[in-house]
Structure 1
Amino acid sequence: MKARKVTQEQLYDLIDPSHREGVIDTSKLKWDVAVLVPDCSSEKNRFTRSVSQYVDDRKKKASFLLTIGLLFEAIQDENYQAVLAGSAVACKSARTFKFDKSNHKLWELKPNNKDRIYFYPVTDLESPARKTIFLLMAYHKKDETTPAEAADPCEEEIRNILKSRGKIDFCEVKNGKKQ
């Protein structure tokens, strides 16, 4: 399994390249943020494709930029969920499922009634031994329940993370180029 760490600035560029406000110094972060990738040379993955598909107008871009900004503010603290609890973005479980005799949760960041970022936090990676939030999908819902078209692929990615038993290969960045 392969993953690539992403910065707040890279996520802002993905949503709206003209947005440059409030980028937090990465040395202050207690968590890494990453996306799963098919291979290290790939620019596209489920998360980037979902942003292209669902974050397609000015209101949605503003909503997702707010969500990313508040996520990065929150991960300056070990208990990012407590920080988000007092913010404009709710953090809640979107689905619970069983894997290997344990319950696991797909989480969502919810800035309003429709826009979501689905993610999975991992605290037991072998290398790097650092807590990581995996961004799985951006989505614009049509109703209150999390639809299968969003939850099923996210659950599949979480199952793959769990099957890896914390052994995830993170793509290296050397001289500004992905490896």
Structure 2
Amino acid sequence: MSAGSRKESGSDKNRKMSRRDLFKGVFNKVRGNKAPERESSGLDPDMAYADRLIRQGEYEKAAHLYSRRLKKEPRHLEAMRSMGYCHFMQGDYSRAREAWEKLLGFRPRDNFALLYTGLACARQGDVHEALENWKLYYDIRKPAVQRAINLFLARQERGEELDAREMADSVQEALEKQKDV
């Protein structure tokens, strides 16, 4: 599913979400949405352990636990988000995109998934799809990241030819700076 078709499907009211994910989404909005490397996915001991594995850099083991959770609860949005992050950190951008595309099917405006799907696209050399995802991304709490993305969007509008690697490096550098803030 491309970013453009997600924009159109965002108003679909037939999508179902578990009460747990609804509550967690509202709670995250109130306290500020944090990235998977810093956040716990819930009370489930396996999920808490998987989150700890991410913080320790054990992405393969964590992805396995998230995958098991998704077999039990296929609409577990936090598990989708975190599993995609694990694949991304291992350099498996295709599998990361699959996880986030599925998540975006349920939550078309999920900032984390939009940001990192764009990064994965850029890492794979797909400038157009990276920018399509980033057009939908907006997070005022991450001004350095937003500024980097806006710069590339403006350059695209001017008709400049963009380098996917430069885009990915710049946005990831902004993410690292933003973590320090």
**TM-score, normalised by the number of residues in structure 1:** 0.29
Q: Which has the higher helix share?
A: 2
Q: Which has the higher strand share?
A: 1
- The structure whose RCO (Cα within 8 Å, separation 6+) is larger is 1
